[in-house]
Structure 1
Amino acid sequence: MKKLIGIISISMLVFMLAACNSGKNSNQEDEMPEMLDVALEVQETADVNEEVPFKATVTQGDEKVSDADEVVFEVWEEGKKEEGEMIDSVNHKDGTYEAKKAFDHDGMFTVQVHVTARGLHTMPKKSVTVGEGVQDENTHSDHEEGDHEHGDHEHGNHSEDFSMHFMKPESIEKGKNTEFIVHLQDHDQPLEKARVRYEIWNDEISDKHEWVDASETKAGEYSGTHAFNEAGLYSVKIHVQNDEGLHEHEEYEVEVK
C-alpha cells in the first residue's frame, strides 16, 4: 500500500512539474517581440542641388539592429507620390543606415524610410522644404488632379499620417500563386484590424477586375495570394478601410511573365 501511495505521489509531482514547464513555455511563446524603434534624421530645409543626408537609427529595446533585412528611403514631392523614388541605404553595421539625395528644384518633399527587420516592419517619415518650397496654388492643383485620377478617394476619410508600403514581388510567373504583402501604418503605429483588398486587372486581356481579400498576418501586415492566368502588365490597386471611416488606396503595376 505504501509503495502504491509513493508511486502515486511521484506521478503527481512529475505531472505538476511538467505542467509548470508547459506554462512557462506557453508564456514565452505568447510574448510579443519588442517593436522596432526607428529614429529618422532629415534636415527640415535645404537649398536646391544641395546634397541632403538621410539617416535612420534602428533599435529593438536596448539593442542596436545592425542586421535589418531591408532599409530603403522613399522620396516624393508633395502631391506626386506615384512619381517617387526608392533609394537603397548603406548599412554601417552599428544600427545606423544612411543615404543621400540632391533635389534639383524648389518644392515640399517627403522622406519615408521603410525598415524590415526580425519579422517586423516600420516606416516613419519626415518632410523637407527645398528652396522656396511650393506655393499653395500649385499644391491645391496637385491635390485636385490626384482626386480626379483616383475618383473613389473622395468617398472616404484620409489621414495625413497614413502610410502604405507594398512589398512588390520580385518576379511573378503565370499559373503560380503569388503572395502580395502590404504594410500599413497610421500615426507611426501599425494599422490593425483594417479591411484590405487587392483589386487586380489588365484592360488589354479582360475588362473583368478580380478582387483578393487580404488577411492580417501580424500587426499592420496584410497578405493575399493570386494566380495570374496570362502574362502581361497588370494594375494592382490596394484598398484600405477601417471602422473609423478611413478609406485609402494606392495603385501599382506588376509584370507577369
Structure 2
Amino acid sequence: MKNRMSLAMIIIISVISLIGCSTGEEDTEQAVDELPELKVDFNVPEEAEVDESVVLTAEVTYGGEAVEGADVIFEYWKGENEENSKEVEPTYQGEGIYKAEVTFNEDANYNLYSHVTAEGLHTMPLESIQVGEGSPIETEDSGDDSESPDGISIHFVEPEQPAPGEDVKLTTQLNMGDTALEAADVRYEIWKKGEKDSPHEWLDAEEITAGEYEAHYAFPEAGTYMINIHIEDGESLHEHQEFELTIE
C-alpha cells in the first residue's frame, strides 16, 4: 500500500511540475509578444518647389507613449544617388515630435529616411518627395509612391552581467513594421571600443524563432565592446546598427 501511495505521489508531483514548466514557457512567449513597439510617423510633403523650405517631422512613440531624447537623423538623397546623401539633425518640439527644415535645389524626386533609435530599438521609415517637375526614379519598386516600406525595428537583448571568458548569448529581435522579419542574414561584428588595432570578430547568427536571431561569444577580457549587427535579406535590405556592451 505504501509503495502504491508513493508511486501516486510521484506521478502527481511530476504532472504539477510539467504544468508549471508549460505555464512558464507560455508566460515567457507572451512577454516576448507583448514587448512595446517603437513607432515613427514620418511626415514628408508629397511635392515641393525648388529652393522651397520643406518641413520634415517625425513623431516617435514607444508603447504608445511619446519619446523624448530619441536619437533622430533625417537622411535624404536625389533619385538613386544614395551614396551622396545628406543628413540633418532635427530639434525636439515636445510630445514626441522632432522637426527639421530642408531645401532641395533642383528638379528631382528625392528619397528620405528617418533614422530613429530609442529604448534599444532602431527603425528607419522611408518616404519620398517630388521637387519641381521631378524626374523618374527607375527602380524595381517604383510604381506607387504611396506604398512606402515600413521601417525595420532592431531590438538587441542586452545580456545580464556578462563576465570575461564565459559563454554569452547574443539575441536580436527584428521586425518589419508589425511583422517579424524572418529568414534574414544576420551577423554580429564585435570589437573592443577605443582600441584602434582591436581585431573585429564576425559571428553568423541563427534564427531561433520567427524574427529572433542568436549567436554565442566569449569576450576575452573586461572592457567595453562595440557590437555592430548587420542585417540583409538577399534583396534590397542592408541595414546595420551598433550597440555597446560592458564586460566586467
Scaled by the length of structure 1, what TM-score is found?
0.51
Distance of 1:212 and 1:114 partners within structure 2? 25
Q: What percentage of residue pairs aligned between the two structures are identical? A: 32
Matched, 1:191 2:192: no
Contact 1:67 1:93 in 2 (8 A): no
- The answer on whether the counterparts of 1:214 and 1:224 sit within 8 Å (CA) in structure 2 is no
2:49 corresponding residue in structure 1:
47
**Secondary structure of residue in 1 paired with 2:80:** coil
Q: Is the 8 A contact 1:36 1:60 kept in 2?
A: yes
Q: Following the alignment from structure 2 to structure 1, what is the Cα–Cα distance between the partners of residues 102 and 134?
A: 17
Aligned-partner Cα distance in 1 for 2:82–2:125: 15
Number of aligned residue pairs: 175
Alignment of structure 1 residues 1-257 onto 2, 5 Å: 27=28, 30=32, 32-68=34-70, 70-134=71-135, 136=136, 139-140=137-138, 161=149, 186=176, 191-196=181-186, 212-215=202-205, 240-241=232-233, 246-248=234-236
- Residue identity in the other structure for 1:55: T
CA contact (8 A) 2:123 2:152 kept: no
SS at match of 1:114: strand
- CA–CA distance in 2 between the matches of 1:220 and 1:96? 30
What is the DSSP-based 3-state SS (H/G/I as helix, E as strand, rest coil) of the residue aligned with 2:113?
strand
- Hey, what's the Cα distance between the residues in 2 that align with 1:109 and 1:58? 23
After TM superposition, give the deviation of residue 216 of structure 1 in Å: 7.1
Higher helix residue share: 1
**Distance between the aligned counterparts of 1:113 and 1:55, measured in 2?**
9
CA displacement 1:31-82 (0-9 Å, x = unmatched): 64211121111110000000111101111233111232x1111111111111
- The separation in 1 between residues aligned to 2:126 and 2:34, in whole angstroms, is 25
Name structure 2 gaps, 5 residues minimum. Answer: 1-12, 140-147, 155-171, 190-199, 218-229, 241-248
Which residue type is aligned with residue 45 of structure 1? E
CA distance in 2, matches of 1:31, 1:249: 24
Moved over 6 A (4+): 162-166, 182-185, 220-225
**Distance between the aligned counterparts of 1:114 and 1:221, measured in 2?**
22
Deviation, 1:30, is 4.5
2:94 match: secondary structure: coil
Letter in 1 for 2:184: A
Which secondary structure does the structure 1 equivalent of 2:83 belong to? helix
Residues 1:251 and 1:191: Cα distance change in structure 2 (over 3 Å): closer
Deviations 1:190-215 (A, max 9, x none): 6343014589xxxxxxxxxx994443
Which amino acid in structure 2 is aligned with residue 194 of structure 1? A
Shift of 1:92: 2.1
- Report the CA distance shift for 1:120/1:100 in structure 2 as closer, same or farther (over 3 A): same
Which 5+ residue runs of structure 1 have no aligned equivalent? Answer: 1-11, 144-159, 167-181, 200-209, 226-237, 253-257
Q: Residue 71 of structure 1: SS of its match in structure 2?
A: strand
